[in-house]
Chain A
């Protein structure tokens, strides 16, 4: 069995700070592996452990050296970095690049994180599934693999829905899955000897047209909260309550 996992390196969500002047993140924000992707890697490794004979290949579009090394140290067998001046582009470009690589690899199963913590479109998984014309199961919080059939537990608005599918399929992981393992020292040592490949879009037969984005981004900004309401601070509780009662009466809410 071959299992592919799609991962992304993102600005560390716990370290991001906004620079109002630049209209962007403060330069030099530390990078991290997208959290949902680590859950996807963990799920792939556990499936490999269950079935015995399997290969786990991690792939990323854009710069992701630390992320791919971490996945190898967790236990993935092989890493592929797809880099190029126009990458990562928009989600459709990313999905197009990944789909081209996946056609070449023909894995039995593909895991991805539900969305990234940066752009957070959640587009790439479904778009890859669409481009490869394989089933999509998103929002996965639990899985079982038995007799060649995957049973996926999904968290949706109505509750927990259980879907079944026979691979190949693309699965999108949420963080209610098994906790991702930490790389061990031995894992880190072994990772250095594992195969790691760097590809350019041209290696996958992609043209400039394939790499033309359909969505462009403006700068980042923050919403100034409009309410500009009354804020009572250091006011005696009885007095504060009286003012609130008066406010509610004025608005005819009581």
Chain B
């Protein structure tokens, strides 16, 4: 067995991996190869055997499974104890966690306890002989900086959602899966969870749809979303929206894309009246092709776009829907 260099912490919810956890394998495989060691996955949750297999298929060389009813709900102290046990078992140089609310509790808890570095919410990670160097957004995502932690001591890294692509699973890849026993202390049990009020999930295939049509505040009203729906129907896309739109009650929360909503990586993202606040773009950054229809040429989303039309969406969207129906033989 090779030496563990990278530990990827796979967070789960309801027995399934959070998408941001799977993206760790995109970053983790490259880092482990660069360090010439193993990529070890730790799956944390309750009833997560399937996720353990997935971790192998995604590129882990070895999978540890902390499967415990106490880990079935996100509580920082308990998850931290599981990660600590995996660190003892694998002795990794780098510990990767998703930059979720839980990951961003667990990483600094352990970094504090072990007096180690925590590079936060990273979008790029590089290693040279002296240091781990990462890029991360600062000043509420308005600017970027690089942060360095010296090699030779353990480094925690939380990885920003959408910064790396999850690899394609290779079902034929069989790797050792080992249960990991976690002993909780009295202190870990001081916080109890009394209930969870879930966000309505809704019936939408937003996350898997190859084409997503998104309406922003610029659409103007709940009624006007008829245009967005029409456009989505004409191109066989799923409808999504920004946080402003769901906060205003124009669309249901389950259609929201971004930081507190869903992450999408469609082949085509078509944004209508979306300016592209960072809270939204973190959830769609990985889209293959980005098309934008917006009135403001300086909107951040226009700068990200492969194709942008600057103009009045009420003039453009109905014409586009009509032409799409004609071209696709649905007229």
Contacts and interface: CB of A to CB of B under 8 A. Distances in A.
Given A118-B139, A163-B75, A232-B308, A133 B187 contact: yes
A163 B307 contact: no
Interface in A231-254: 231-235, 237-238, 240-242, 244-245, 247-249, 251, 253-254
A22 to B, nearest CB: 12
Contact of B140 (A13, A223, A232): A13
B198 A159 contact: yes
B119 interface: yes
A1 interface: no
Interface stretch (A70-78, A103-111, A150-158, A186-194): A150-158
B303 interface: yes
14 contacts: A95-B112, A120-B140, A126-B104, A126-B105, A162-B193, A163-B193, A164-B191, A216-B148, A227-B305, A240-B316, A241-B309, A244-B309, A247-B306, A248-B268
A216 B108 contact: no
Contacts of B198: 158-159
B108 A91 contact: yes
Contacts of A232: 307-311
A69 interface: no
A128 B120 CA distance: 16
Interface in B91-120: 100-102, 104-105, 108-113, 115-120
B87 to A, nearest CB: 14
Contacts of B143: 18, 220-222
B111 A123 contact: yes
B138 interface: yes
Given A16-B139, A121-B118, A135-B187, A222 B108 contact: no
B192 interface: yes
Interface string B133-151: 0000111101111111110
Interface residues of A, number: 76
A253 B267 contact: yes
Given A123-B118, A138-B76, A161-B197, 19 more contacts: A127-B111, A130-B110, A136-B105, A151-B194, A154-B101, A157-B13, A215-B118, A218-B145, A220-B138, A220-B144, A220-B145, A221-B145, A222-B143, A222-B144, A227-B305, A232-B308, A233-B297, A240-B316, A251-B268
A254 B327 contact: yes
Contact of B149 (A119, A162, A214): A214
Interface string B188-200: 0011111111110
B93 to A, nearest CB: 14
Contact of A223 (B102, B104, B144, B308): B144
A164 B12 CA distance: 22
Interface residues of B, number: 78
Interface in A1-28: 11, 13, 16, 18, 25
Contact of A237 (B191, B304, B307, B316): B316
Interface string B291-325: 10000010000111111111110011001100110
Most B CB contacts (10 A, CB to CB) among A124, A126, A245 go to: A126
B18 interface: yes
Contacts of A137: 191
A92 interface: yes
A247 B292 CA distance: 13
A164 B190 CA distance: 8
Contacts of B137: 120
Contacts of B118: 91-92, 121, 123, 215
Nearest to B146: A218
A231 B311 contact: no
Contacts of B150: 214
